């Protein structure tokens, strides 16, 4: 069982928007920055969002991140079939003195 809770799966049609939630507590998300990763099938994870809402160079603005209290959200607009992947949130858990990830969310673009 992961420290951070994500929905196992989400789906939406091409061109539509989807959001993926990441729920934690005051000992992790509530007092630390959140990052998001995209893992395409058979590949290494790729950083999409860091420091809650910042995009690394090269990541399109279709991807956005936000944080409120002990939860964070990844938003993807203008969905493309190439966005089908597993998405993970991550942060620092002070109570555990460890980095932690959510269990991952599989995005299906119908």
For the CB of residue 10, give the shortest distance to another protein in the complex, in Å: 16
Q: Which of 12, 50, 62, 75 binds another protein (CB under 8 A)?
A: 50
Measured from the CB atom, is 20 or 100 closer to another protein?
A: 100
Give whole-number Cα distances, 50 to 12, 36, 54, 105, in Å: 24, 7, 5, 18
Residue 70 β-bridge partners: none
Q: Is 88 in the site for another protein (CB under 8 A)?
A: yes
Q: Are 35 and 50 in contact (CB under 8 A)?
A: yes
Token look-up 């993970």 returns 88
Work out which of 22, 64, 91, 107 binds another protein, going by CB under 8 A.
91
Does position 81 bind another protein by CB under 8 A? no
């Amino acid at each position: 069982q992961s420290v951070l809770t994500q929905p196992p799966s989400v789906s939406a049609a091409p061109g539509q928007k989807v959001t993926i939630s990441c729920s934690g507590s005051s000992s992790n998300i509530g007092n630390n920055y959140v990052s998001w990763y995209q893992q395409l099938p058979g590949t290494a994870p790729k950083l999409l969002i860091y420091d809650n809402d910042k995009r690394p160079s090269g990541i399109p603005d279709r991807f956005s991140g936000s944080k409120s209290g002990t939860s964070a959200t990844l938003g993807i607009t203008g969905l493309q079939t190439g966005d089908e992947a597993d998405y993970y949130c991550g942060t620092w858990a002070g109570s555990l003195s460890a980095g932690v990830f959510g269990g991952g969310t599989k995005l299906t673009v119908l």
